[in-house]
């Protein structure tokens, strides 16, 4: 049978573009449709603009720290509008690069919504219909907001990057990394920030000590963090949004941002037309090769709800092309994925937390909590935390956790060591670089009790 395309990709984010570009590079005829903007969540309304906001929010502390080092810093102020305009220019630039790279590889790009008609057919919102040998769904995820009285007044991480004015009174609802990051961002930009989370502690799934360490530092820096607390209702008034929480306490804020999780973006894609199997969250169920129950249809990235990180989607897209277009069956490796959380202080982590590891085998824990040199003259009490989780049986380092400045940069290289199977003795044999915070990773020599 003759098809219009060898591959049609639905979704122009990191995973979809990587797969489309690599497949086109093999000589395959590739089409890709994106209904919003090229680049997907990460580039347009996720990692990239968020990190720019993290940088912007860090300067208030930097100005204060500079005084301790002899600098005379004059009056400072933050211009929200100027920052947003500069951020938009950079996002536009990156969006154009994504499109140019895709087309340079020989793929056809359609700025339209695509839906599945059957196992080998897609239909665009423009009315165009194409047949294709393979379909790859890479539509990512979308923020979830529960229904409650006044839910229509809240924003999500999709909208926060486009606010015309800075909200001076800001409520964040949620306890995951997105919620905590934006609480820190807006606090750093000197908004008055309150955060509600219905669970016992923020950053569920992380090492428990890391959770508590970061939560305490966030409070010290000025975030009014409340756990065991949720929103009951929101009423819009002339004074602002009146929020009543589950304890009956009311606060008035300018903006409420919900970061209460994301769900796979599968609504309205026509997947039922091809009988593609979905999970309970709406995620596309795939095997180790990203193939669905329909042999011609594959899916990568957050829409599969495996590991929802941009680099993972990129690797999954590449593995898909190796499997389907190079004839080299390749499963993406989801083990020992390093992650960073750009809170203030930031987190870098790879491998198991202490609690997970203890539930599996006998372990040793090496820990250092200290005030880094950079904070001494600045007069800041902020501390850093480093932990290594070590198997007693194999001596392998099962987990590495860093909280503090440049934690994300450090954890990337630590992840290489763990991926290679480094033991505690490998860390011990590594010469320290002094004076650095990172030297603590190779100088911790006494396991903590418990």
Domains, in order of start, for the chain: 5-143+263-324 (3.50.50.60), 151-260 (3.50.50.60), 339-443 (3.30.390.30)
Which pLDDT belongs to residue 48? 95
Measured CA angle at 374 (ends 370, 378), to 5 deg: 105
- 4-32, pLDDT tens digit by residue? 999 999 999 999 999 999 999 999 999 99
Cα–Cα dist 80/74, whole Å: 19
Residue 35 contacts residue 294 (beta carbons within 8 Å) = no
Q: Nearest CA to 324 among 285, 277, 292? A: 292
Which pLDDT belongs to residue 207? 97
Residues marked active site are found at 434
Q: Nearest CA to 319 among 23, 13, 27? A: 23
- As given in the structure block, the two tokens for residue 144 are 């979830």
Which residue do the tokens 């008609």 mark? 117
* Run of H or E including 100: helix 80-104
Task: Give the up-direction half-sphere exposure of residue 162: CA atoms within 13 A in the CB hemisphere.
Answer: 9
Burial class of 198 by CB neighbour count within 10 A (0 to 12, 13 to 18, 19+): middle
Q: How many C-beta neighbours within 10 Å does residue 249 have? A: 11
3-state secondary structure 190-213: CCEEEEEECCCCCCCCCCHHHHHH
Which pLDDT belongs to residue 1? 76
Cα–Cα dist 345/219, whole Å: 11
Write out the E strands in 105-245. Answer: 108-110, 114-118, 121-124, 129-137, 141-143, 169-173, 192-197, 224-227, 231-237, 240-245
The parts of the chain modelled with pLDDT lower than 50 are none
Cα–Cα dist 324/288, whole Å: 13
Residue 352 contacts residue 399 (beta carbons within 8 Å) = yes
Which pLDDT belongs to residue 299? 98
DSSP letter for 160, please: H
Cα–Cα dist 320/298, whole Å: 8
- As given in the structure block, the two tokens for residue 154 are 């809240």
* Run of H or E including 250: strand 250-253
Helix (H, G, I), strand (E, B) or coil at 437: coil
Instruction: Name the packing angle between helices 80-104 and 47-68 (round to 10°).
Output: 140
Q: How many residues does the chain have?
A: 450
Measured CA angle at 68 (ends 66, 73), to 5 deg: 40
Which pLDDT belongs to residue 440? 97
Residue 313 contacts residue 301 (beta carbons within 8 Å) = yes
Longest dimension (CA), the chain: 75
DSSP letter for 294, please: S
């Amino acid at each position: 049978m003759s098809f219009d395309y060898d591959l049609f990709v639905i979704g122009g984010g990191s995973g979809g573009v990587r797969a489309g570009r690599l497949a086109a590079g093999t000589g395959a005829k590739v089409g890709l449709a994106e209904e919003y903007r090229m680049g997907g969540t990460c580039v347009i309304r996720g990692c990239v603009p968020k990190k720019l906001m993290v940088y912007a929010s860090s300067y208030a502390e930097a100005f204060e720290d500079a005084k301790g080092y002899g600098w005379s810093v004059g009056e400072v102020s933050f211009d929200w509008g100027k920052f947003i305009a500069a951020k938009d220019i950079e996002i536009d630039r990156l969006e154009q690069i994504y499109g140019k790279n895709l087309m340079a590889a020989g793929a056809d790009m359609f700025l339209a919504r695509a839906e599945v008609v059957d196992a080998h057919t897609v239909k665009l919102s423009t009315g165009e219909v194409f047949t294709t040998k393979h379909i790859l769904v890479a539509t990512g995820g979308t923020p979830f907001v529960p229904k409650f009285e006044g839910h229509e007044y809240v924003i999500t991480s999709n909208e926060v990057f486009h606010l015309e004015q800075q909200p001076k009174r800001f409520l964040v609802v949620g306890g995951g990394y997105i919620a905590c990051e934006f609480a820190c961002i807006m606090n750093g930009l000197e908004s008055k920030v309150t955060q509600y989370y219905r669970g016992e502690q923020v950053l569920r799934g992380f090492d428990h000590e890391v959770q508590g360490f970061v939560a305490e530092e966030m409070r010290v820096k000025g975030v009014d963090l409340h756990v065991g607390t949720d929103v009951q209702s929101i009423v819009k008034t002339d004074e602002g949004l009146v929020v009543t929480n589950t304890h009956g306490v009311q606060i008035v804020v300018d903006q409420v941002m919900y970061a209460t999780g994301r769900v796979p973006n599968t609504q309205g894609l026509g997947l039922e037309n091809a009988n593609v199997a979905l999970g309970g969250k709406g995620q596309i169920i795939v095997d180790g090769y990203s193939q669905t129950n329909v042999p011609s249809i594959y899916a990568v990235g957050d829409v599969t709800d495996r590991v929802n990180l941009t680099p993972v989607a990129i690797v999954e897209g590449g593995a898909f092309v190796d499997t389907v277009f190079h004839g080299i069956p390749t499963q993406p490796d989801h083990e020992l994925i390093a992650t960073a959380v750009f809170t203030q202080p930031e987190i870098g982590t790879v491998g198991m937390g202490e609690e997970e590891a203890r539930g599996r085998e006998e372990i040793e824990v090496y820990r250092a909590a200290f005030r880094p040199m950079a904070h001494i003259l600045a007069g800041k009490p902020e501390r850093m935390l480093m932990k290594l989780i070590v198997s007693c049986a194999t001596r392998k380092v099962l987990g590495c956790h860093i909280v503090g400045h440049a934690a994300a940069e450090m954890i990337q290289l630590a992840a290489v060591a763990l991926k290679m199977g480094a033991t505690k003795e490998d860390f011990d044999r590594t010469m320290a670089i002094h004076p650095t915070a990172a030297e603590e990773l190779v100088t911790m020599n006494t396991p903590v009790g418990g």
